[in-house]
Amino acid sequence: MIEKRKFAETIFLCVLFAAIAFIPFWVEVTHAQQRNTDQILSGNGNISISYTNSSFTIESVSQYGNFSFTFEWENTETYITYNGTRRPIKELNRIAFTDKTAKYRMEYWVPMMLYEYIDVDGNNLLNDTEHIIPDILVVGYKINLNIEMTNITIMEDVNGTPACEWIYTQIAMPMREVYPSLEIFPTVKEDFHYYPLNGTLKMDIILQNFKPENALSRIFLSYGVRYVSLEQGNATVTVAFDGQELAYNQIDKAYPTTSNIVVFKVNGVNRGFFDFGGKVTIDNNPDMHVDGSVGPTRSWYYYQTDGEWLEIGLNYPHVNQTLIHDPYFGLYPRSLTTTTFPFGVTVATAVISVIICTVAIVDYFKTKNRYLKPAMQPI
């Protein structure tokens, strides 16, 4: 009876030990499945879109936070005729990403200016400030006349992540002359892919019908970005790229950046980003290179709010007709943090547990055999 009880106790301890060892693994599997399910259900169940005559707003609530995205344009109450169709003129204004949980907003201007220029000093960047020898500006275009806008559609990618998509197409108007036909101007088609779960936006920008005026020219596109606090009090805003971190309000010249990702920090916390490391295709040639810069805005770019914005400048090689690029920007992406054991450690723990159990069982039977074996009788 005592031996049976000891055997039962040993088996119970082995099972308990093994179960404890495997708990972290099952917790990790369960959490992973729950995260995927929550992501789909939260995305589809907590996205709302509201419209006005000059904007739309996408509200979302997910495990990443409570976000609001606003896309704004200005109705000029004038019309143009393009390809035989009379269209209202809309001028695209800034777009805003608001984190209601952390109480801040990141505002961006998508490309408003396009420059064709000659790179005099060969640094692959447009220089037109007093600090550096200026490059030669061939022609400048203002990207502001809308000729087409599609409605928002909601879809899911291959991972089940919801995305809101729409298209906004504009004419690039040269700033020096007026032509009788708008069809001869380049167009900038912007395919927007907004991910409401984490407040980020991928933008496929497609420059078409471009006709360079110089065979050695390069192309420059300007984006704008600024941080807006929704709380009282002062905040230290910095910009990090290429292993350096600069005070936001002390950037007085254009800095080249090769890291592709520019991060905007507030009191040391990542709040916004701009990633221009996506694929670049020029005249059907893939994997072309883009050179970026961070600097103050030029006064004729952002005359309405001059001094509050920073410029992300993207410099491309020579373009004969088409340019395709997909920058990515918005709120700084955040991922769920869960306390789990690494899978390797879990497996190792389980294996050790099985070994201990095996040794215990073998030891039990050795002990049993020693005590149950008949004693030798003296002759």
The answer to whether residues 215 and 90 touch, using CB atoms and an 8 Å cutoff, is: no
The pair of structure tokens assigned to 277 is 């490391």
**Average model confidence (pLDDT) across the chain:** 78
Q: Which residue has the tokens 């004038």?
A: 78
DSSP 100-113: TTTTEEEEEEEEEE
Distance of CA 245 to the CA centre of its chain: 20
Please write the tens of the pLDDT for every residue from 174-211.
887 666 788 999 999 999 999 998 999 999 999 999 99
In the predicted structure, residue 134 carries a pLDDT above the cut 50: yes
The answer to whether residues 292 and 260 touch, using CB atoms and an 8 Å cutoff, is: yes
* Cα gap 189→168, rounded to integer Å: 6
Q: Read off the pLDDT of each residue in 296-319 and give the average, rounded to a whole number.
A: 77
pLDDT for position 355: 42
pLDDT for position 299: 56
In the predicted structure, residue 49 carries a pLDDT above the cut 80: yes
pLDDT for position 340: 31
Exposure string of 319-350, with b = 16+ CB inside 10 Å and e = fewer, is beebbbbbbbbbbbeeeeeeebeeeeebeebb
Instruction: Give 32's pLDDT tier (boundaries 50, 70, 90).
Output: very low
Please write the tens of the pLDDT for every residue from 80-114.
899 999 999 898 888 999 999 999 999 998 988 99
Specify whether the backbone of 5 is left (phi greater than 0), alpha (psi in -120 to 50) or beta: alpha
Strand partners, 256: 293
pLDDT for position 19: 44
pLDDT for position 365: 44
Please write the tens of the pLDDT for every residue from 268-303.
999 999 999 999 999 999 989 999 999 988 655 554
Q: What percent of the chain has pLDDT over 70?
A: 71
Better-scored residue on pLDDT, 307 or 47 = 47
In the predicted structure, residue 228 carries a pLDDT above the cut 80: yes
Q: H or E stretch including 94?
A: strand 85-99
